[in-house]
Amino acid sequence: MRRQNFEELGEADRLLIETARRSSVNAYAPYSGFAVGSAVRTRSKRLYHGANLENAAYGLGMCAEVAAITAANSAGDYDIEAIAVVGFRFSTPPDVTQVVTPCGRCRQLIFEAGQIARTDPVVFSCSGDLEHIEEARISEMLPGAFGPDNLGLSQSWPQLRGQLVETVRRIEAAGAPSAGRAVKR
């Protein structure tokens, strides 16, 4: 884990972190009063972002990192090389000075994405004011992790994914059911 100064980071990393912080404004966090924004950068250099999403059934809450990683995967762009997390308390008393790191579940999700993509994603954990930034590789943050390699998926997923794409292609080629068939009485 290395302490970083925002101004001394490269342009791509500053943009990633700024995107994460900007995304935090969309947090739905009425229960914790704690907003988190996250952004991922993929091998294609595109950025995807997300914010935390809480729920009256507390255990259903979703982390910002999950939203960002899901956004990348939903765009068919799952080769994640870096992720930024920016969090702060906005309820009284506000606190924008503590470094926010990914929770254990999110570390596992980042690790999985990295192993499938053959990257070791860089993780920027940041305070809301960006005065405190810690940089680490996911392999440092989750040592000895169990991942897709343990199940042989890194080899088999590309082929299985090909089958998925082919199945969808065949479904689409078969055409949509007619309105008459869709509305059965």
Among 71, 82, 83, 106, binds Zn ion (CB under 5 A): 106
Nearer Cβ to Zn ion (14/103)? 103
The tally of CA atoms less than 13 A away on the side-chain side of residue 81 is 10
Nearer Cβ to Zn ion (17/106)? 106
Between CA 87 and CA 98 the distance in angstroms is 8
Nearer Cβ to Zn ion (104/158)? 104
Pick the piece of the chain touching Zn ion (CB under 5 A) from 17-25, 102-110, 149-157, 162-170. 102-110
Q: Which of 8, 65, 81, 135 is catalytic?
A: 65
Between CA 95 and CA 86 the distance in angstroms is 12
Ordered alpha helix ranges (H), 11-87: 11-23, 64-74
Q: Which residues contact 82 (CB under 8 A, 6 or more apart)?
A: 13, 16, 40, 41, 121, 122, 123, 124
Among 15, 53, 96, 103, binds Zn ion (CB under 5 A): 103
Between CA 8 and CA 72 the distance in angstroms is 27
Catalytic annotation on 166?
no
Residue 143: is the preceding peptide bond cis (ω within 30°)?
Answer: no
Under rule CB under 5 A, which residues in 50-69 are in contact with Zn ion? 63
Shortest CB 20 distance to Zn ion, Å:
13
Nearer Cβ to Zn ion (1/164)? 1
Q: Does 35 bind Zn ion (CB under 5 A)?
A: no
- Just list the catalytic residues: 65
List residues binding Zn ion (CB under 5 A). Answer: 63, 103, 106
